[in-house]
């Protein structure tokens, strides 16, 4: 390795270590094993260009972090939405841990500034490449889990990810009943109740009318070919009324 490159490399390492120190201060998490933290932000392109020094890329940590994220997000959703079906929970979780969402989290934390990249990857915009940033976020979660355990991961997600769920950032993927439940839980104003008001028609062509109410006050009425469809339409009407009321 040429001497001038060695000096340049040494200066970069000093700068990156300073960046990582500041990063830990900002998120109020301090790694016992900082090698894990560095590995989480080490792209394979960096390893390929620094073969004379022992480096390991973040791909294995990414694998672990993906599983840890799924577990912690699943646990949060399971507790937050006690009436949500397995299918709806799966759909909502998928929206939270998908690449675009992970990129948003990574960008808010400015992960792009910390990534260790090879020169080629750097020159082609790797620092802002969505797939790379999503992978780094998962790798960081994996490193944090190995260094400090699941409780610290949950504490971190409570600051970074869970508030967005509470704010309804992913409600677009929820059905109307789940969206309405989210609104009511957010405002903490009571308990929703669904009731079938009417059934009519022959067995092969039934029609149901359902009502959703909050603390005895009617919010919406829905008509459908099944109880589920009628309840969904009642919830849809209730959401429209609530939004109209809030807009006034």
What CATH number did the domain enclosing 146 receive? Answer: 1.10.1520.10
Check whether residue 119 and residue 214 sit in a common domain: no
Average pLDDT in the 154-175 region? Answer: 90
**More confident site: 27 or 117:** 27
Active site residue 66: yes
Catalytic member of 57, 138, 147, 231: 138
State the average pLDDT for the chain: 87
Q: What pLDDT, on a 0 to 100 scale, did the predictor assign at position 4? A: 41
Check whether residue 79 and residue 120 sit in a common domain: yes
The last residue of a domain, from among 108, 142, 172: 172
Active site residue 138: yes
> Residue 106: pLDDT band by 50, 70, 90 thresholds?
very high
Residue 2 scores a pLDDT above 80: no
The last residue of a domain, from among 172, 187, 213: 172
Alpha-carbon distance of 84 to 170, in angstroms, equals: 14
Check whether residue 95 and residue 29 sit in a common domain: yes
Q: What pLDDT, on a 0 to 100 scale, did the predictor assign at position 101? A: 96
- Classify residue 173 by burial, with Cβ atoms within 10 Å: 0-12, 13-18, 19+: middle
Check whether residue 67 and residue 159 sit in a common domain: yes
What are residue 54's phi and psi, to 5 degrees? -75, 110
**More confident site: 12 or 190:** 190
Check whether residue 93 and residue 120 sit in a common domain: yes
Q: What pLDDT, on a 0 to 100 scale, did the predictor assign at position 3? A: 42
Q: What pLDDT, on a 0 to 100 scale, did the predictor assign at position 54? A: 60
Q: What pLDDT, on a 0 to 100 scale, did the predictor assign at position 147? A: 97
> Residue 144: pLDDT band by 50, 70, 90 thresholds?
very high
Average pLDDT in the 167-181 region? Answer: 85
Check whether residue 83 and residue 107 sit in a common domain: yes
For the entire predicted model, the pTM comes to: 0.75
Residue 245 scores a pLDDT above 90: no
Alpha-carbon distance of 76 to 241, in angstroms, equals: 29
Check whether residue 33 and residue 123 sit in a common domain: yes
- Where in the sequence is the domain holding 148, given as residue range(s)? 3-172
**More confident site: 242 or 188:** 242
Q: What is the dihedral of CA 87, 91, 96, 98, to 10 degrees?
A: 130
The last residue of a domain, from among 111, 145, 172: 172
In eight-state DSSP terms, residue 210 is: E
Q: What pLDDT, on a 0 to 100 scale, did the predictor assign at position 119? A: 83
Residue 216 scores a pLDDT above 90: no
Check whether residue 157 and residue 43 sit in a common domain: yes
Check whether residue 83 and residue 44 sit in a common domain: yes
- Say which CATH number the domain at 210 has: 3.30.160.20
Catalytic member of 57, 62, 66, 237: 66
Check whether residue 25 and residue 99 sit in a common domain: yes
Q: What pLDDT, on a 0 to 100 scale, did the predictor assign at position 7? A: 57
> Residue 11: pLDDT band by 50, 70, 90 thresholds?
low
- Structural domains of the chain, count: 2
Check whether residue 167 and residue 184 sit in a common domain: no
How many CB atoms lie under 10 A from the CB of residue 155? 14
Check whether residue 71 and residue 139 sit in a common domain: yes
Q: In what order do the strands lie in the sheet with 207-214?
A: 192-200, 207-214, 217-224
């Amino acid at each position: 390795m040429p001497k001038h490159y060695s000096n340049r490399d040494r200066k970069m390492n000093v700068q990156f270590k300073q960046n990582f120190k500041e990063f830990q201060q900002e998120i109020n998490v301090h790694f016992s094993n900082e090698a894990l933290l560095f590995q989480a932000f080490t792209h394979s392109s960096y390893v390929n260009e620094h073969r004379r020094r022992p480096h390991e890329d973040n791909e294995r940590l990414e694998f672990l972090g993906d599983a840890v994220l799924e577990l912690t997000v699943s646990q949060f959703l399971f507790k937050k939405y006690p009436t949500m079906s397995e299918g709806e929970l799966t759909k909502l979780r998928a929206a939270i841990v998908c690449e675009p969402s992970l990129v948003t989290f990574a960008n808010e934390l400015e992960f792009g500034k910390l990534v260790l990249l090879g020169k080629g990857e750097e020159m082609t915009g790797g620092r802002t490449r969505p797939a790379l940033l999503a992978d780094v976020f998962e790798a960081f979660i994996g490193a944090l889990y190995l260094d400090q355990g699941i409780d610290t991961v949950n504490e971190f997600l409570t600051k970074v990810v869970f508030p967005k769920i509470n704010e309804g950032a992913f409600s677009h993927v929820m059905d109307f009943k789940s969206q309405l439940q989210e609104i009511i839980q957010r405002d903490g104003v009571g308990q929703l109740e669904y009731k079938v008001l009417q059934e009519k028609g022959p067995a092969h062509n039934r029609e149901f009318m359902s009502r959703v109410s909050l603390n005895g006050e009617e919010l919406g009425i829905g008509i459908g070919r099944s109880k589920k469809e009628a309840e969904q339409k009642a919830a849809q009407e209730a959401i429209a009324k609530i939004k109209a009321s809030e807009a006034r």
